[in-house]
């Protein structure tokens, strides 16, 4: 017995051969290396900045900026501060990202499904679209739309009228804009109420179907609650809204909603480029659903539409969502290419003009990067949550 114990007792390895101590040693080495690296970078930076006479700190954010910005959704004029330029850039970047994501998703899903269509011609057209636009650099596409297409449009005086008061010329796209009059708030409230009611209705309908098997026309009722109800309220409150049409004044149009060509080119290029990638993602997702699922649902007597909606898409979405997330992130990051054509996004306004005027490279770069990092983490966490919700619940 005692003999066995002595045999089983492991020999004591030397300290430098003990994996535990080794790991500690290497990690300590790593930390020391990193500390040295960052120390020397910070030290160099500080002394470099001192010799160039650049002060550090965020005090510059409250100083007067003194330059104008092409397009701004928040109020901005030449008296606004540098801090305000950050907000303007942020909002403009957000605008491009949201518009781009929305349109690229529509285009991408459409093209992805089209590429798998039974119709040979439609499938080939979608393939041609995907293969062309996926393989051309985005920056080149932005330049193409901006300099080759939009810059070739007629001048404001010879503007193309696309009907319904829409004007399209070299200065951009001019849409009739709604102008809210007092009392419009009631309609907004009605819309919100309709939305909340819709959430409750869906939950109730699902519960009822689970319990009794009876289906409730969720789609139609949603439409009524979300659009019909606010419309009725809008009408009942006396239609407190007017529409303002763009009118030619001097050399340019005024009134309505003006979309500058920079924004147009950027959103167009982002949509077409990212749409091609999303289409591939969607195609891969749909192909990942076993063909037996299609056959089984056809055997159950589902119609083609029901087959897609109830069987294929819910399963395909699980495969599609993770790569779709990274496409959304790519689009958001790619929106920074705006700077190449002078659309006032975060990089152009804040990292460009503001940086050039103040020279606060470190602070401005850090703030800009922080925005993109936060957006990345935010989008990916929302998508992870959605992904978890859609994931297979296994026994």
Partner 1 sequence: MPVNHKKSPSLPPPASEVGIVVWVKKNLFSTYANGVMSLAAIVLILLLLPPLLDWAFFSATWSGSNRADCNEDGACWIFIANRIDQVFYGFYPAELHWRPNLAGLLLIGLTIPLFIKSFHYKNWLGAFILIIYPFIAYFLIHGGSFGLEVVSTTKWGGLMLTLILSAVGIVASLPLGILLALGRRSKMPMFKSVCVVYIEFWRGIPLITVLFMASVMLPLFFPEGSDFDKLLRALIGITLFQSAYMAEVVRGGLQAIPKGQYEASEALGLNYPKSMGLIILPQALKLVIPGIVNTFIALFKDTTLVLIIGLFDLLAIINLALTDSEWLGFDDEGYVFAAFVFWVFCFAMSRYSIALEAKLHTGHKR
Whole-number minimum distance, CB 333 to partner 1, in Å? Answer: 4
Nearest-angstrom CA–CA distance, 373 and 361 = 18
Residue 308 near partner 1 by CB under 8 A: no
Residue from 81, 221, 252, 376 in contact with partner 1 (CB under 8 A) = 376
Question: Per CB under 8 A, does 23 bind partner 1?
Answer: yes
32 binds partner 1 (CB under 8 A): no
Rounded least distance, CB 284 to partner 1, Å:
13
Q: Applying CB under 8 A, what is the total number of residues that bind partner 1?
A: 55
323 touches partner 1 (CB under 8 A): no
Would you count residue 339 as binding partner 1 (CB under 8 A)?
yes
C-alpha distances in Å from residue 274, one per residue of 49, 146, 331: 40, 17, 7
3-state secondary structure of 183: coil
Residue with tokens 């500690």: 24
Can you state the angle between helices 361-390 and 82-115, rounded to 10 degrees? 40
Nearest distance in Å: CB 136, partner 1: 5
- The residue behind tokens 């104008």 is 68
Q: How far apart are CA 286 and CA 292, in angstroms?
A: 13
Determine which residue in the list 13, 21, 39, 47 makes contact with partner 1, applying CB under 8 A.
Answer: 47
The reply to whether 365 sits near partner 1 by the rule CB under 8 A is: yes
Distance in Å, CB of 388 to partner 1, minimum: 19
Q: Which of 69, 67, 106 is CA-nearest to residue 90?
A: 69
Who contacts 386 (Cβ-Cβ below 8 Å, separation ≥6)? 321
For the chain, give the number of residues.
Answer: 395
What is the bridge-based pairing of β-strands 172-175 and 241-244? Answer: unpaired
Please report whether residue 41 would count as binding partner 1 according to CB under 8 A: yes
Helices (H), ranges, 135-260: 138-143, 185-212, 218-223, 229-236
- The answer to whether 337 touches 142, Cβ cutoff 8 Å, is yes
Q: Which one of 13, 15, 21, 30 is in contact with partner 1 (CB under 8 A)?
A: 30
Task: Determine if 333 is a binding residue for partner 1 (CB under 8 A).
Answer: yes
Establish if 151 lies at the interface with partner 1 (CB under 8 A). Answer: yes
Provide the binding-site residues for partner 1, judged by CB under 8 A. 23, 26-27, 30-31, 34, 41, 44-45, 47-49, 51, 117-122, 125, 131-132, 134-141, 143-144, 147-148, 151-152, 329, 333-334, 336-337, 339-340, 347, 351, 355, 361-362, 365, 368-369, 372-373, 376-377
């Amino acid at each position: 017995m005692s003999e066995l114990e002595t045999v089983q007792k492991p020999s004591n390895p030397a300290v430098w051969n003990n994996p535990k101590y080794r790991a500690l040693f290497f990690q300590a080495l790593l930390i020391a290396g990193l500390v040295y690296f960052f120390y020397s970078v910070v030290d160099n930076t500080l002394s470099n900045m001192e010799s160039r006479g650049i002060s550090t700190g965020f005090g510059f954010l409250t100083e007067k900026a003194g330059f104008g910005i092409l397009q701004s959704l928040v109020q901005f004029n030449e008296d606004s501060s540098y801090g305000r330029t950050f907000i303007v850039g942020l909002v403009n970047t957000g605008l491009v990202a949201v518009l781009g994501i929305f349109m690229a998703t529509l285009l991408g899903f459409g093209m992805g499904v089209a590429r798998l269509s039974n119709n040979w011609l439609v499938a080939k057209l979608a393939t041609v679209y995907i293969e062309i636009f996926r393989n051309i650099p985005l920056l080149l596409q932005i330049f193409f739309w901006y300099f080759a297409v939009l810059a070739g449009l007629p001048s404001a005086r010879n503007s193309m009228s696309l009907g319904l008061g829409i004007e399209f010329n070299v200065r951009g796209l001019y849409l009739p804009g709604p102008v809210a009059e007092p009392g419009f708030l009631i309609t907004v409230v009605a819309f919100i109420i309709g939305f909340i009611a819709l959430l409750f209705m869906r939950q109730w309908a699902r519960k009822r179907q689970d319990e009794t098997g009876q289906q409730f026309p969720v789609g139609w009722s949603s439409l009524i609650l979300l659009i019909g109800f606010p419309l009725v309220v809008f009408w009942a409150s006396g239609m407190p809204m007017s529409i303002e049409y763009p009118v030619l004044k001097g050399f340019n149009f005024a009134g309505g909603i003006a979309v500058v060509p920079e924004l147009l080119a950027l959103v167009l290029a982002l949509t077409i480029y990212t749409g091609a990638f999303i289409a591939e993602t969607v195609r891969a997702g749909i192909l990942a659903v076993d063909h037996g699922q299609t056959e089984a649902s056809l055997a159950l007597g589902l119609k083609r539409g029901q087959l897609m909606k109830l069987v294929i898409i819910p399963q395909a979405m699980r495969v599609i969502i993770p790569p779709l997330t990274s496409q959304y992130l790519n689009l958001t990051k790619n929106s920074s290419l705006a700077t190449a054509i002078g659309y006032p996004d975060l990089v152009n306004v804040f990292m460009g003009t503001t940086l050039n005027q103040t020279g606060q490279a470190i602070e401005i770069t850090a703030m800009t990067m922080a925005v993109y990092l936060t957006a990345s983490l935010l989008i990916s966490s929302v998508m992870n949550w959605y992904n978890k919700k859609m994931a297979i619940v296994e026994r």
